Chains A and B, each alone.
Chain A
Amino acid sequence: MEENIVDKVTQGEYKYGFVTDIETEIIPKGLNEDIIRIISKKKEEPDWLLDLRLKAYRHWCTLKMPHWAHLNIPEIDYQNIYYFAAPKSNPAPKDLSEVDPELIKTFNKLGIPLEEQKQLSGMAVDAVMDSISVKTTYKENLAELGIIFCSFSEAVRDYPDLVRQYFGSVVPYTDNFFAALNSAVFSDGSFIYIPKGVRCPMELSTYFRINAAQTGQFERTLIIADDDSYVSYLEGCTAPMRDENQLHAAIVELVVHDRAEIKYSTVQNWYPGDKQGKGGIYNFVTKRALCKGDDSKISWTQVETGSAITWKYPSCILMGNNSVGEFYSVAVTNNYQQADTGTKMIHIGKNTKSHVVSKGISAGHSQNSYRGLVKISQKADGARNFSQCDSLLLGDKCGAHTFPYMDIHNDTAIVEHEATTSKINEDQIFYCNQRGISNEDAVGLIVNGYAKEVINKLPMEFAVEAQKLLSISLENSVG
């Protein structure tokens, strides 16, 4: 009977697979020092940044692609990628009337209206297409509070000291292969600074869109929360359906000072490829937060349903005493998707706490791995960690794996790890059927119930989106 119900595996429709027909400015394919100079020049960057890019590039040339993850990564030809693609229009629109209507239409179609009056109240958006930021909303309102929310390029131009002080301070270019690559060729992204004592009154968000073919997206996000401040930040991503694989290698750096808090939520829905595993985004992302100040807090929440390959470990360095790191994750893989994701909690300060909740859902022929490190350093007296990793399997051709690492150098630490693996039970589905609920809706209900603990951490509007996304990603995975 199990065969009967769980056998038919196909893919629900990817809603965001359209391409915007817009004139795009592209620099030649390939990667070398000249390309880096072109990118830097296009962005009118200061010399220190170009130097840094070149250093990163030279370092990258000495590195090899990492293969330690539980992923089967095809050879990537880094010379066959466009490293800069930008919609050709007014590069610095003062207001919406200067933004290309095609772009406004695109983001409307994605559910991200750029007209401020049409947006959800309480949310400001930075819209990024390919290599550049298209428009940031509510900038002026936020500026009144001293909050800086702008594209990364603008930040380099307008707040060079802040950028220089923090850029690469959490993820140096030497960190890993993709961090070096990103540091060499990064194009745009978001920059946020919350001044001392300010509680950001609205959700800040960035929407990343890949549009141009054969391009990579290499964005950088840098968020600084000064003493006693708070910000909630959301990130969403989509890309057109294409047969080729496209590369996305981002860096996100967060710095949290004394008693400050950053809540960082991601709904990642890059194109996952078709049901035979053709196409899709390769998502290699380095995300890290530094809890620099005492009593600081960082909370990562991610709902990952997209990408052909996901390689991503949002981490917390808990340096300040009593600092808190949280990681809540739902990762869904279907068809031939592969995900190797998790977190690193590095306890350095005294009485630091971390909490990890990871919920993996695998269907089809997909492989879904949790990989997590809990490190307690010698001085981290009274450190506490609790990790819970659950895996849910739909069907019998997918895989779920858990790789927990613990590195503990202090006897006072309390570290707990719990893991479960379960299958969607045919009895549960029949029970729903008997109440008039179809297979698809039953799976949606059960999966959302399973992921509820994480979904509840998302801001309201996002939580609703994420719930729908979970159901759509698994559509037809139980026939």
Chain B
Amino acid sequence: MLEIKNLHASINGKEILKGINLTVKPGEIHAIMGPNGSGKSTLSSVLTGNPAFQVTEGEVHFYGKNLLELSPEDRSREGVFLSFQYPVEIPGVSMVNFMRTAVNEHRKYKGLDPMSASDFLKLMREKKDLVELDNKLANRSVNEGFSGGEKKRNEIFQMAMLEPRLSILDETDSGLDIDALRIVANGVNKLKSKDNASIVITHYQRLLDYIVPDFVHVLYKGRIVKSAGKELALELEEKGYDWIKKELGE
């Protein structure tokens, strides 16, 4: 579904990604690990079209479409979802209003009529149970006054609402206590199917105990320097990133 070829990207003229190659197929979970500043979050920003980053070289295809030519909103409507590392607060905009706008934009893109208010509220109730979110959520402003854990659960809730084909979870485990981590991971696992895929970006192995990856890639200095199965995550946990650096002869 996703094919990244020789992707280079920079911010303010500084090159962060220096030739990423990655192929993701439906049903797969890919973990991307790596030390701070290796370009993990940049990769998620570039895939979703954050205008702060410039792609300088390379190609990204998503189900045959040139992803880099699509606007950020069209990438979302095509089914690319990002669970933000730092979800943004939007004061005064209720979750119900925000999600309804989003869901209906996705439907419009697919040529479907907007959802009725009652159907929508039913869907919202159903999906919020998945991540054990509060009933009052609907009337609260987007992420405003949410705790760190609530914000992350809210991201997975939105993912459940939009049913993406590709989900990118950017450091979804950061700032979560063990209970919240379990809830978030459960949510992600329940949403997994043979038709969708996930890219899980994380610093620690901890999350991968709950969300078990098919592949683990190590990103270092803007390149994927090592790829293997899930055992690589354990090895990294044990030996630390210095081990990779040594292997690379640094």
Contacts and interface: CB of A to CB of B under 8 A. Distances in A.
A466 B57 CA distance: 46
A38 B90 CA distance: 57
Contact of A4 (B51, B73, B82): B51
A437 B81 CA distance: 13
Interface in A247-289: none
A452 B101 CA distance: 17
Nearest to A433: B72
Interface stretch (B16-24, B33-41, B102-110, B125-133): B102-110
A1 B51 contact: yes
A445 B51 contact: no
A214 interface: no
Contacts of B141: 449
A428 B88 contact: yes
Given A449-B93, A452-B92, A436 B51 contact: no
Contacts of A22: none
B106 A448 contact: no
Interface string B86-105: 01111111100111011001
The range of chain B's interface size is 20 to 34
A448 to B, nearest CB: 7
B91 A438 contact: no
Nearest to A447: B92
Nearest to A439: B73
A427 interface: yes
B149 interface: no
A450 B91 contact: yes
A405 interface: no
A288 B48 CA distance: 52
Nearest to B80: A434
Contacts of A448: 92-93
Interface string A340-363: 000000000000000000000000
Q: Which one of A436, A450, A451 has the highest number of Cβ atoms from chain B below 10 Å of its Cβ?
A: A436
Contact of A430 (B50, B91, B98): B50
Given A5-B51, A445-B98, A446-B93, A431 B88 contact: yes
B42 interface: no
B1 to A, nearest CB: 18
- Max chain B CB contacts within 10 Å: which of A5, A427, A432? A432
Given A4-B51, A5-B51, A433-B72, A445 B82 contact: no
Given A4-B51, A434-B82, A436-B106, A450 B92 contact: yes
A458 to B, nearest CB: 15
Interface in A406-454: 425-428, 430-439, 441, 445-446, 448-453
B105 A436 contact: yes
Contacts of B102: 432, 435-437
Contact of A449 (B50, B84, B90, B105): B90
B52 A1 contact: yes
A448 B94 CA distance: 11
Contacts of A427: 88
A448 B84 CA distance: 24
A430 B50 CA distance: 7
Contact of A425 (B72, B88, B99): B88
B147 interface: no
Given A430-B51, A434-B76, A435-B102, A449 B158 contact: no
B105 A441 contact: yes
Please give me the 6 A-B residue pairs with the lowest Cβ-Cβ distance, nearest first: A449-B92, A449-B93, A433-B72, A435-B102, A436-B76, A431-B88
28 contacts: A1-B52, A4-B51, A425-B88, A430-B50, A430-B72, A431-B88, A432-B90, A432-B98, A433-B49, A433-B71, A434-B48, A434-B72, A434-B75, A434-B76, A434-B81, A434-B82, A434-B84, A437-B73, A438-B71, A438-B73, A445-B93, A445-B101, A448-B92, A449-B94, A450-B91, A450-B92, A452-B92, A453-B92
Given A1-B52, A431-B88, A449-B94, 20 more contacts: A426-B51, A426-B52, A430-B72, A433-B49, A433-B71, A433-B72, A433-B73, A434-B76, A435-B98, A435-B105, A436-B73, A436-B109, A436-B162, A437-B101, A437-B102, A445-B93, A445-B101, A448-B92, A451-B92, A453-B92
